[in-house]
Amino acid sequence: PAPERLPLTAAHVDALTRFSLTVRASLSDRGVHGVDGAEIDHIELTGPSPSGADCRNFVLCPGGAWDRSPCGTGTSARMACLAADGRLAPGEVWRQESLIGSVFEGSYQSGESGRIHPTLTGTAHVMAEGSLILEDQDPFRWGLRR
């Protein structure tokens, strides 16, 4: 099947990634950019959820990685689109599921000029812990300053 018809499952992650990379490149080639000309670096595909959530998504992140979460930014953007279309009311819960089944629940309150103020809940797990080592003799230990 064509990538846009593939189920959003981990078994199809390679084809979904290739398709999403093609979409990203096509947007750039056509001069479609974000705010201040920024590259559109996240691509979100949506489809039906097998678990009963409102939808399932696949999110391509910068560097060709994909998001194991439902993507907070993507979930917020989806709710903004649904609100603009009159398909999601303020306070109504929207459940968005990731490719691997993790779920964010979101709702929103109306803001000014058609904007929304989203609220999301979900579960996260600690994946790593790190330590910064700041040496006194490093002139850039606090970062680069202009």
Number of Cα atoms under 13 Å in the Cβ half of residue 54: 16
pTM: 0.80
User: What are the tens digits of pLDDT across the range 87-133?
Assistant: 999 999 999 999 999 999 999 999 999 899 999 999 888 889 999 89
Q: How confident is the prediction for the chain on average, in pLDDT?
A: 92
Distance CA 85, CA 116 (A): 13
| pLDDT greater than 60 at residue 4 | no
| pLDDT greater than 50 at residue 1 | no
Two structure tokens written together for 61: 């992140």
If phi > 0 it is left, if psi is from -120 to 50 it is alpha, else beta; for residue 112 that is beta
CA 43 to chain centre: 7
User: What are the tens digits of pLDDT across the range 41-59?
Assistant: 999 999 999 999 999 999 9
